[in-house]
Structure 1
């Protein structure tokens, strides 16, 4: 029969029945999990690390878990949580120090800025390498007031997962692919009317002077097109 819990039993609260040397194992476990979290978030890509740096996200996950368990479970000693906090903070400080002083390490862990739109055209290969969908890109552009790709001179995916958008100056806007959902739904493979069309996938703009069936985009190889629009 389980013995009733004695309230404010400080030995149970601080260490329970474990030996104090067990805290060394807790420190090792924490370092191990810090490395696992850092590796997982590095591999997962920038999409998962929006706004927070990868180091801050690892710290938040690790400290959140360490802080939560001792609050609810009587069999988790406070001393273990304290060791986790200390070791996590030490790992965080060490990794950020190394990152600040060694550019190659920083580039591996955080990544580098990546161009994903240039001159109104989506760089599909770069988008795929960063594990970001075209729909996610278009949503981010719409949030920043962009209605069609011809407005965009350059878009850069930053290491923290956010995008920086540099529009064309007034008067230099190009014909481009509309990124408004309803206009995107009007895509077609059969171009029955001569005119200027934009590739549905990458936004490459091309003029067709006669009707054509399923023309292939020279940049991404797709065959769906939309009529271009222009915003000045």
Structure 2
């Protein structure tokens, strides 16, 4: 049996034609371009990634593309990237100016806030055009010390990715869908005992008898025991 042996040239793989002089040049190029990216981000006035809209994320991607090649490509001059950066800044300023003058244009660029929860129930689940991830939203709720949907009057997904929660008062808290993994994980299509249960899909709560049941709102048949403790702040 013939074996084909391949001898790997690790120097060629990891170093190639790189010289010491160009390695030093890469470090200088990287420092310059990274500083430019930070400067442009500071000019936008944003304080963190969670404050960025989809439009601003697209701006950052464009800047990253413009900054990346000059960092390690000898034929890519830094001056060309500065021209791209200037064009991006001008475009950003123009679009934000137009958005401030036209609410309709702002909605096209930034999007609109979305109501995720109203009166302790999910409202987005019937809209097949959204990309709402319920598990990620549960994680956001747990970080806000929310134990179940019955504590929430309204939840709004903002255009920058943040979530605004508006809570029921302690005496208004109702039964709701639990968001803790161990509790939510005990879902079943069979109701074991009579009591209050929450639909795992839309969050609607119902008093159910033993046996199978379908949700009147979403027509799903998966349930978990509903809980109603008040929110601890």
Tell me if TM exceeds 0.5. yes
1:220 paired residue number = 218
Q: CA deviation at 1:108?
A: 1.3
Confirm or deny: 8 A CA contact 1:175 1:228 kept in the other structure: yes
- TM-score for both structures, normalised by structure 1: 0.74
Specify the alignment match of 2:170 in structure 1.
170
| 1:79 equivalent in alignment to 2:67 | no
Report the counterpart of residue 160 of structure 1 in structure 2: 160
Tell me the TM-score normalised to structure 2 length: 0.73
* Cα RMSD (Å): 2.1
Q: CA deviation at 1:103?
A: 0.8
How far is the alpha carbon of 1:75 from its aligned partner? 0.6
Unaligned ranges ≥5, structure 1: 9-48
Residue 192 of structure 1, CA deviation? 2.8
Measured against aligned partners, the alpha-carbon deviations of 1:41-60 in whole angstroms (never above 9, x if no partner) come to: xxxxxxxx842123332222
CA offset at residue 128 of structure 1?
A: 4.8
* Distance of 2:194 and 2:185 partners within structure 1: 20
Other-structure match for 2:144: 144
Shift of 1:67: 2.1
Shift of 1:173: 0.7
Q: Deviations over 1:160-181 (max 9, x none)?
A: 1111011111221111111100
Distance 1:128 1:144, change over 3 A: farther
> May I ask how many residue pairs the two structures share in their alignment?
185
- Check whether the contact 2:155–2:163 (CA below 8 A) recurs between aligned residues: yes
Match of 2:45 in 1: none
